[in-house]
Amino acid sequence: MSHTTSKTTGSKTAVVTGGSSGIGAASVRQLRSAGYQVITGARRLDRLREVAEPVGAVALELDVTDPNAVKTFAAEVERRAPEGLSLLVNNAGGALGMDRIEETRDEHWEWMFQSNVLGTLRMTRALLPSLIASGAGHIINIGSIAGFETYPGGSGYTAAKHGLRALTRTLRLELLGQPVRVTEVAPGLVETEFSKVRFAGDADRATKVYDGMTPLTADDIADCVVWAATRPPHVNIDELVVRPLDQAAATLVHRRPVE
């Protein structure tokens, strides 16, 4: 894969949250290929190391829902990147459950807001000084088409991703005049562990989400992350909405008969 870089990325450091699987893991690999030093965090340190070590990235335990863990992680990033942080990819997150509003559970909503929205808020707050200090920082938030569409059973997840989108857009306004770009990458269906997590490990139900259609891969989205990051520093890609060809809307998916 080739990417045009505006200048050498040899000394640039990127942080990727949720690097232990899916889009985060693919972003760790592709950012390393593009020349970034990469520090990645997630809760499952064993899985995270399996991603990071082969490509020479740094794996650090991180739970974005825990303010103290975020503080410790940010201090370690500042120690490892004293020249400042070039890129923060807020990717950690996901969905839990797919129930109608009458049946949806508070704890699912709380988990989704904690990981997708408050986790991004905490990471951004903690690392913003370092992003500014780099002189050319960039925050890429992994949103979703759920950030501007809704669908039955998706109330908690779509509310969280709508919230994340509001946070991203507010950040772009508030950072005007600072050397920090702000981008949202909003994917449609991507085949990762997302559906397995959503359906509490029910592999059959998770597989059915992608039945008869060709979903995006984690690498398709990592490609967008690297592309947005490697535009010249005066170019801010506000939003990238990326869907599979087989998906026109959250609930409108073209499926071929499955044998």
| Residues within the interface to ligand NAP (CB under 6 A) | 17-18, 20-24, 42-44, 47, 62-65, 91-94, 115-116, 119, 142, 144, 187, 189-190, 192-194, 197, 218
Residue 232 beta carbon to ligand NAP: minimum distance, rounded to whole angstroms: 26
- Please list, residue by residue across 77-91, b when 16 or more beta carbons sit within 10 angstroms of its beta carbon and e when fewer do: bbeebeebbbbbbbb
Rank residues 21 and 37 by Cβ distance to ligand NAP and give the closer one. 21
Residue 131 beta carbon to ligand NAP: minimum distance, rounded to whole angstroms: 19
Q: At what angle do helices 155-174 and 119-133 cross, to 10 degrees?
A: 20
Residue 132 beta carbon to ligand NAP: minimum distance, rounded to whole angstroms: 24
Angstrom distance (rounded) from CA 74 to CA 80: 10
Residue 243 beta carbon to ligand NAP: minimum distance, rounded to whole angstroms: 10
Residue 179 beta carbon to ligand NAP: minimum distance, rounded to whole angstroms: 26
| Residue nearest to ligand NAP as judged by C-beta position | 22
Rank residues 7 and 255 by Cβ distance to ligand NAP and give the closer one. 255
Residue 15: count of CB within 10 angstroms of its CB: 32
Rank residues 69 and 132 by Cβ distance to ligand NAP and give the closer one. 69
Residue 151: count of CB within 10 angstroms of its CB: 15
Residue 15 beta carbon to ligand NAP: minimum distance, rounded to whole angstroms: 12
Q: Dihedral through CA 30, CA 87, CA 89, CA 246, nearest 10?
A: -50
Rank residues 9 and 91 by Cβ distance to ligand NAP and give the closer one. 91
SS3 224: helix
SS3 172: helix
Rank residues 20 and 136 by Cβ distance to ligand NAP and give the closer one. 20
Catalytic positions, written as ranges: 157
Rank residues 18 and 84 by Cβ distance to ligand NAP and give the closer one. 18
Q: Please give the order of strands across the beta sheet that includes 180-187.
A: 58-61, 37-42, 13-17, 87-90, 137-142, 180-187, 239-242
SS3 223: helix
Angstrom distance (rounded) from CA 230 to CA 181: 11
Angstrom distance (rounded) from CA 25 to CA 89: 11
